[in-house]
Amino acid sequence: MTPLQQASVAKAQQCIQQASTFFNRPFSLPAINFTQRGKIAGTARLQGWEVRINPILLEENEYTFINEVIPHEIAHLIAFRLHGRVRPHGKEWQGIMNQVFNLPARTTHRFNIESVKGQTFPYRCKCSQHELTVRRHNRVQRKETQYLCKACQSPLKLSKRQAS
């Protein structure tokens, strides 16, 4: 385990302790895994009592990541344990972020994702240029689906320039 991964686990322990003290009830430390991929910084697996962390974004953003993402995901678990199935970023989660962790209840991260951004393919409609992910591009190529522009409602067509 890298030093940043160890610091992530320590932050999770701190958050669990804060929540246990605030709510006057014990919460167990969730499993912390460093297997999240793509542009997502982290996810909370509610039933499995697990937090998945993106190791690349962790390494690139270090302690900003640890101090924002870990409490964010732990707050999801605590909200689920206390309130059951509620809106992911609803008032219960926001209250935990604000009152327990004394953090702003931001729903998305602001990290640079260039290094984890997957390959995209250029598509055009009647009004603009679009980028489709590999998965969406492959679905179009296999004729499984057709995507429409949200603005002009015309079908997206593969552009001539190379994939990025």
Tell me which residues are annotated as active site.
73
Question: Tokens 């991260």 identify what position?
Answer: 109
Antiparallel, parallel or unpaired: β 129-133 and 120-124 = antiparallel
Q: How far apart are CA 140 and CA 138, in angstroms?
A: 5
The CA-atom distances, in angstroms, between 138 and each of 17, 19, 57, 126, 144 are: 46, 44, 27, 21, 9
Token pair, residue 85, equals 């199935």
Q: How far apart are CA 16 and CA 84, in angstroms?
A: 17
